[in-house]
Amino acid sequence: MAVKISPLAVVEKGAEIGENVEVAPFAFVGSKAKIGDGSTIGQAARIEGDTTIGSDCRIFSHAVVGSIPQDLKFHGEDVKLIIGDRNTIREFTLLNPGTEGGGGVTKIGDDNLLMGYVHIAHDCIIGNRCILANAATLAGHVVVGDGVVIGGMTPIHQFVKIGDLAMVAGASALNQDVPPYCLAEGNRARLRGLNLTGLRRALEKDAINSLRMGYKELFERGKPLKETAMHLLETSESEYVKKLCRFVLETKRGIPYERKDKRKEEDR
């Protein structure tokens, strides 16, 4: 199938359009945009700025992709938005490119689902196979790993990091880092355990059992967090537990877990 651009769409000169691309009526594609093979741009969607969209992406109606950052420090410098392959970007989403102070690039990986009204702000890095439910909003400089789920109506504070296969429940508010494989929920969000539903879909039983023990040692024994993480990093045979520990040791914003009193726990 050849490129199919509606005569009611606006595709500016200079835009690079791949094979088998469809652009619906009233859509706008700017002069610096690059759209990969097999992608579709829905009715009244806007692709602006230096935006690269991979192959087989679906951009639904009224999405705004690549408009300038909502950052008062932005003064028109050259910045980019890079979107991988097979992403689904639903209605009224808003995706911004990077800023000079954050590296100049917002990057979204492959096979992600961004539901309606999702906002991904400047300088965010999103992995692969993530699901952001309706009206999840990411402030600037957020880093999201692979296989992450963020529930609807959940704001994520700037500079927060969320590890692989983690989940943040809907209607939460997250202002600290969520380690890989964990579940966070609440306002403000706190760790509630492992993301067992996601882990059962992705990992073997032995790996999950190792993570259960590692999580308990880190967050439920009342021991000093960083010291425990260092000990597990040196002694555990599980690469998943080691990854969890490295995240804890490298966090800048802290981990949102309930600190237990070790003496009270021992009295039970």
Q: Which of 30, 42, 140, 147 is catalytic?
A: 140
Token pair 């769409």 in the structure block, residue: 9
Terminal alpha carbon distance of the chain: 69
Q: Which of 119, 122, 141, 157 is catalytic?
A: 122
Q: Is 140 a catalytic residue?
A: yes
Contact between residue 28 and residue 64 where contact means Cβ atoms under 8 Å apart: no
At 264, list the tokens. 């009270």
- Cα separation of 165 and 147, whole Å? 5
Q: Is 66 a catalytic residue?
A: no
Token pair 């000169």 in the structure block, residue: 13
Which residues are CB-neighbours of 226 under 8 A, at least 6 positions away? 248, 249
Token pair 């790993």 in the structure block, residue: 145
Q: Which of 123, 146, 164, 177 is catalytic?
A: 123
**Strand blocks (E) in 105-165:** 105-108, 113-114, 119-120, 125-126, 131-132, 137-138, 143-144, 149-150, 155-156, 161-162
| 196 strand-pairing partners | none
Other C-beta atoms closer than 10 Å to the C-beta of 259 total 10
Q: Catalytic residue positions?
A: 122-123, 140
